[in-house]
Amino acid sequence: MSDLSETKKERVSLVEQFFILWDRIGILLAFIVVCILFGILTPVFFNPLNILNVIRQVSIIGVIAVGMTFVILLGGIDLSVGSVVAFTGIIAAGFQVKWGGSLFLSIVIPLLIGGGIGFLNGFISTKGGLHPFIVTLGTMSIFRGATLLVAKGRPISGMSKSFRFIGAGMIGPIPFPVILFLGSVIIAAIILRRTVFGRYIYAIGGNEEAALLSGIRVDRYKISAFTILGFLSALSGLILTSRLNSGELVAGEGYELDVIASVVIGGTSMMGGEGGVYGTLIGALLIGVISNGLNLLGVQPYWQMIVRGSIIILAVLMDKMKRRFRTA
């Protein structure tokens, strides 16, 4: 009997060691393996122009994923990010083409609107006692419809050269969107790891009831996290609109799937309280590489959706197993 018990403990210990190792280098190792695999299957993958295209595209999703990390760390979710991208993109295009052409207003107003939408999501979900899934499902539809209303059913094209720099400009050899993405990662990492705000985010996500009892104003931090996400979604909308030289009605469709996948694959737990933006950075790169590699191999888009959805389920299952073994 004691031998069986010892064997079981050894198995549990091995599984725990696997999850500890995965937390440290697993996602990075997976990223390297996938890159090598696509490099073998399609030599075009490592072409400098293709790599440049990948990191530009990843930046658009990655900026939103940084904000989503804050929300998921709290155990929340936001399905409206794609609609926020489209709506703020159309507003920016409107200021560029129809409403005076002011560069300042075409940047500042969409960012304020994005932050305001995030605030609205957080306020309704906390003060109204509704789950963020329901609230953001509603605002996803509302602001997708608002995009069509503002644009009157037509894309808005013809941005100024200075505005186009946001999504298509280069600083030396580095695309400007990549600088914005990496900058958001660094700032978010500092906030989460070096500030009281960040420590409270982890505390609330880890045990909300204990956080409340310790005097943390939980609602305030939840609303703040959604506001950050809304702001960064608007920034992504500016990057996308600038890159396309057009405010597109269908911009951001399906982004919520890639964004959530990037965060979860990067090691942030859907239960909250565990994870970080550096993992999100690698997760976004991995999602971008998989999409690009499958495109180069001629895989049809709906198969790509199946792959991304499967990756999310696998990542959540691994997180659940990890938590179960830790509490065993």
Pairing of strands 246-247, 156-157: antiparallel
Question: For helices 103-127 and 81-97, what crossing angle results, to 10°?
Answer: 150
Q: For position 10, what pLDDT does the model report?
A: 54
pLDDT tens for each residue of the chain, 328 residues long: 555 555 555 555 666 666 566 666 778 888 898 899 999 998 899 998 999 889 999 999 999 999 999 999 999 999 999 999 999 999 999 999 988 878 999 999 999 999 999 999 999 999 999 999 999 999 999 999 999 999 988 999 989 999 999 999 999 889 999 999 999 999 999 999 999 999 999 999 999 999 999 999 999 999 999 999 999 999 999 999 999 999 999 999 989 989 998 999 888 988 888 889 999 999 999 999 998 999 998 888 888 888 878 888 887 787 777 666 655 5
**Amino acid 273: pLDDT:** 87
pLDDT score for 125: 96
Residue pair 242/168 in contact (Cβ under 8 Å)? The answer is yes
Give phi and psi for 157, each to the nearest 5: -120, 160
Name the nearest CA neighbour of 230 among 78, 13, 95, 104. Answer: 78
Residue 51, CA atoms < 13 Å, CB-side half-sphere: 8
pLDDT of residue 303: 84
Going along the chain from its start, the domains and CATH numbers come out as 45-327 (1.10.3470)
Residue 254 structure tokens? 């399906």
Among all chains, which residue has been given the structure tokens 């010892």? 6
**How much is the pLDDT for 247?**
92
What pTM did the predictor assign? Answer: 0.90
pLDDT of residue 300: 84
CB of 114 within 8 A of CB of 240? no
